[in-house]
Amino acid sequence: MSLVAKRLFAFLVVGIVAVGCGGAAARTSTTGRTSTTGRTSTTAHAAAVARWTPYVHVATPIDVVGPRRDGAMVVAANGRLWLLSRAGALRAFAPTYHSNPGLEAYIAMARADHPGCSFGADTVYAISFGSPRGVVAIDARGRVRSFATISAPGLIDGIVFDETGSFGHRLLVATTAGKHTSVDAVDCHRAVTPITRGAHRVEGGIAVAPMTFGRFAGDLIASDELGGGIWAVTPGGRDLLVAGSGLPHGQDTGVESEAFVPTGRFYALLADRLTPRNPHPGDNVLLRVSSAALTAAGARPGDLLDATEGGARTVAVRCGGGRCAVLRVADGPAIAHAEGHIAIVPGGP
């Protein structure tokens, strides 16, 4: 079958057998397709799956966000923060900031054009496991200050800005205890408002959906690495299943890292942390994939990209008309141990 025919077949499979939004969590099958209880869903494979490839070596990376106004990305690695230039050079940033290298102190940064109350240009917000337990802010000059205290029980394991306005353009923080996740919204005056205390268990590089994402437009989107499901939390605190990922799942294995595909040329970055004695031991690098490769694999603007912790296997999820389609669009090195957000860098490599 020609390459064009294969791509056409992949799109037809996605269009005909779409994931039923709100169905039950998926289980992985040996064919790469996923089955759900009550509704049928299929994860189609693109004809030309893109590849995450090593870009920059860095010790113990757990997250990357940005860009700042100067074009640099901010990397959280080895308990410190670093600035990554467009040329791929790393330099130390915020010397007084420190987190436990063994924990996952994910970071977030508002866009330069973030509407509503200002959180500070190029200011990074990081999960804090110490005192205060919550969030610390690191301004563009590297100065660190306490920002917000999170009282929800459990492990704080997700942080992202709402750029759509559905949550009031606030900072969203996820905390997981057992089978449930709490979500809090924090405004620029440090006021903390609970959104839910009983969402499905999720964690990792969470994202807020654009207004083009079907019935989940404007919702917080997060993944359950244990069960393989992709979940939405509404501004009113309801949790809904978006889709089953159709990818392998379990501890240190399932989907965890997210971003939405923008318009225009870009490349995506993903932290790959060295994790000895793990089935996916990682390689202490930032992985990279181009928009051209993702587009060739079938990803389109507005799609959700969601990568597994084990192996950086990546799907694109497209929602509209009450249904969502899932397409496998990229794979990483088999040893990859992905962490944090998928970061979008505008322009080409």
CATH number for position 65: 2.120.10.30
Residues sharing a CB contact under 8 Å with residue 258, sequence separation 6 or more, in sequence order: 204, 205, 206, 207, 221, 222, 223, 304, 305, 306, 307, 341, 342
- Closest by CA to 119, choosing from 108, 128, 127, 129, is 108
pLDDT band at 157 (very low <50, low <70, confident <90, very high): very high
- pLDDT of 15 higher than 50: no
* Enclosing domain of residue 96: 3-346
Distance, in Å, from the CA atom of 327 to the CA atom of 50, rounded to the nearest integer, reads 12
- pLDDT of 319 higher than 50: yes
Four-residue CA torsion sign, 148, 76, 334, 314: positive
Q: What is the mean pLDDT of residues 42-46?
A: 64
User: Over the stretch 91-127, which tens digit does the pLDDT of each residue have?
Assistant: 999 999 999 999 999 999 999 999 988 999 999 999 9
With vertex at residue 273, the alpha carbon angle to CA 269 and CA 276, rounded to the nearest 5 degrees, is 160
Which strand (E) or helix (H) includes residue 10? helix 3-16
Identity of the amino acid at 78: N
pLDDT band at 6 (very low <50, low <70, confident <90, very high): very low
pLDDT of residue 124: 98
| pTM given for the model | 0.88
Up-side HSE of residue 168: CA atoms within 13 Å toward CB? Answer: 17
Distance, in Å, from the CA atom of 123 to the CA atom of 156, rounded to the nearest integer, reads 20
Strand partners, 338: 272
pLDDT of residue 200: 98
Residues sharing a CB contact under 8 Å with residue 73, sequence separation 6 or more, in sequence order: 64, 65, 66, 67, 83, 84, 269, 343, 345
User: Over the stretch 204-227, which tens digit does the pLDDT of each residue have?
Assistant: 999 999 999 999 999 999 999 999
- pLDDT of 349 higher than 90: no
pLDDT of residue 132: 79
Three-state SS letters, 89-114: CEEEECCCCCCCCCCCCCEEECCCCC
Distance, in Å, from the CA atom of 292 to the CA atom of 263, rounded to the nearest integer, reads 12
Which strand (E) or helix (H) includes residue 4? helix 3-16
User: Over the stretch 239-298, which tens digit does the pLDDT of each residue have?
Assistant: 999 999 999 999 999 999 999 999 999 999 999 999 999 999 999 999 999 999 999 999
pLDDT band at 43 (very low <50, low <70, confident <90, very high): low
Total domains present in the chain: 1
CB 330 within 8 A of CB 307: yes
pLDDT of residue 133: 95
CA-to-CA separations, 288 to 31, 49, 318, in angstroms, rounded: 27, 14, 22
pLDDT of residue 131: 80
Identity of the amino acid at 106: Y
Q: What is the mean pLDDT of residues 24-40?
A: 32
Mean pLDDT of the chain: 89
| Residue 95 CB burial class (10 angstroms; 0-12, 13-18, ≥19) | exposed
- pLDDT of 159 higher than 50: yes
Q: What percent of the chain has pLDDT over 90?
A: 83
Distance, in Å, from the CA atom of 328 to the CA atom of 269, rounded to the nearest integer, reads 18
- pLDDT of 35 higher than 90: no
More confident position, 80 or 48:
80
Q: Helix and strand tally (H, E) in the chain?
A: 2, 28
pLDDT of residue 116: 83
- Helix, strand, coil percentages, rounded to 5, for the chain: 5, 45, 45
Q: What is the mean pLDDT of residues 320-339?
A: 97
First-residue to last-residue Cα distance in the chain? 32
pLDDT band at 3 (very low <50, low <70, confident <90, very high): very low
